[in-house]
Amino acid sequence: MISTDVYRERLQARRAELVERMIQLEDWLDDPADQDAVERATERESDEVFEAQGLAGQQEVTAIDAALARIDNGMYGICMSCGEPISEARLDAVPHAALCRNCMR
CA distance 67 to 73: 10
Print the domain residue range for 66.
4-75
| Residue 34 within any structural domain of the chain | yes
pTM recorded for the entire structure: 0.78
- Share in percent of the chain as helix, strand, coil (round to 5): 70, 0, 30
pLDDT of res. 36: 61
pLDDT above 70 for 47: no
| Residue 91 within any structural domain of the chain | no
pLDDT level of residue 38 (50, 70, 90 thresholds): low
Structural domains of the chain, count:
1
Dihedrals phi, psi of 85, to nearest 5 degrees: -65, 145
pLDDT above 90 for 76: yes
| Residue 36 within any structural domain of the chain | yes
The residue that leads in pLDDT, 7 or 1, is 7
CA 90 to chain centre: 16
| Residue 24 within any structural domain of the chain | yes
| Residue 105 within any structural domain of the chain | no
| Residue 99 within any structural domain of the chain | no
